[in-house]
Chain A
Amino acid sequence: MVSRIDTLALRYKVIRQFKQLLLMGREYPRGYRYFRDNLHAGFKKNAGLTDVKEIEQKLKFAEHIEREIAALYSLRKYRAMKQRYYDGDQ
């Protein structure tokens, strides 16, 4: 039996993950609206879950998405800088 504190902590984690992804969506190439709509849909789809293990699995997936987006952004920036300042070097 999962205690109420555990479920609260999990709920807090989920909300925080959502907010983090929402923050990252501001720079998304296909636009903030597109990103936000998809984010809402994704989280809403799993809103009814009650099993802790399942929730943690989904949370891990959300973290994975967060890392992927961060990688996308930093790669985009790196490539742009490299093209502007370093291509043309030997």
Chain B
Amino acid sequence: MWSSKNSVHVFGSPTSSRPTTCQLFRPPLQQQYVVITILAMPPRLNIVVPIKRVIDFAIKPRINQTKNVIETNGVKFSLNPFCEIAVEEAVRLRESSKDLVESITLVSAGSAKIQDTLRAGLALGADKATLIDIPAIDDSRSLELEPLAVAKLLKAFVEKSNANLVIMGKQAIDDDSNQTGQMLAGLLNWSQATNASKVTVDEASGVVTVAREIDGGTETLSAPLPLVITTDLRLNTPRYTKLQDIMKAKKKKTEKITPEDLGVDITPRLEIVSLSEPAKRTGGGKVDSVDALIGKLKGAGAI
């Protein structure tokens, strides 16, 4: 193994006057071995929080009868309440433990108007934002961006950014699909915990424990990272943004990308046949006596 063929002449080393011979691949007798200790590093969370800009929750949506779309002219838009809870949860995770969270990135798809919503999310405490620019999807056509298309966009984005945790709202208050989170988890092949009402991260092992709100009670799941979590109303109460945070948010980075950059086809697969408002609530009536009440109930076929 240590044949002389491996020898190399070195002329004049600094400490001697004679030429020395080094033999390749042969460690010197008094080599000092450098000991490298691999410290077990706690997992650092790279959180992606997808958000959606929706008509403000306090406004009753109206339908524009002529165009058969939701009336969006002059209507106030804001961050989806469940998405707000998601951003708040990411920020709370950061505040709960130093060095646990490395970055919180917001992402949203739609027209350039969603920049305001992204800024609101940045003011809540996120680090940076990405806008997936789809100019065709303006406010009145937002229903054309379907949950599956959004899930595909998010999958491509999450894979591009080295995220290991996605926290998102369970549904948007405009289309109420409750699908995107689940589809995203399936496409990414990650674990999922939906309708989360409590999230705990075990820093040592990187296992996330999530309490889920289900019919009839609470279910507790635990899974290692990576993971998709969708938020339930009871997860937390978002803070009200301070003016200073809104000012700071203007300096945070927002990048713009397109569905083509992500290589995703967002053509809608569903056709909206019609839109109609729910039936108007008819007024109730008052009755004078128990007999009259019974008479009315019989008349309505209730008894």
Q: A19-B243, A70-B240, A77-B57 are known contacts. Are A89 and B215 too (CB-CB below 8 A)? A: yes
Tell me how many residues of A have a C-beta within 8 Å of chain B: 20
What is the interface of chain A mostly: helix, strand, loop, or mixed? helix
A65 is an interface residue with CB less than 8 A from chain B: no
B242 is an interface residue with CB less than 8 A from chain A: yes
| Chain A hits for B243, CB < 8 A | 16, 19-20, 23
CB distance from B212 to the nearest CB of A (A): 14
CB distance from A54 to the nearest CB of B (A): 24
Tell which of B233, B239, B244 touches A81, judged by Cβ atoms closer than 8 Å. B233
B58 is an interface residue with CB less than 8 A from chain A: yes
CB <8 Å contact, A73 and B240: yes
CB <8 Å contact, A80 and B233: no
| Chain B hits for A80, CB < 8 A | 57-58
CB distance from A38 to the nearest CB of B (A): 19
Interface residues of A in 12-62 (CB under 8 A from B): 16, 19-20, 23-24, 27
A70 to B237, CA, bound (A): 11
Q: A81-B57, A82-B233, A86-B233 are known contacts. Are A74 and B240 too (CB-CB below 8 A)? A: yes
Instruction: Sample 26 A-B pairs with CB under 8 A, ordered by A number.
Output: A16-B243, A19-B243, A20-B242, A20-B243, A23-B246, A24-B240, A27-B58, A70-B239, A70-B240, A73-B240, A74-B238, A74-B240, A77-B81, A78-B233, A78-B237, A80-B57, A80-B58, A81-B57, A81-B81, A81-B173, A81-B233, A82-B233, A84-B173, A86-B233, A90-B215, A90-B216
**Residues of A at under 8 Å CB distance from B?**
16, 19-20, 23-24, 27, 70, 73-74, 76-78, 80-82, 84-86, 89-90
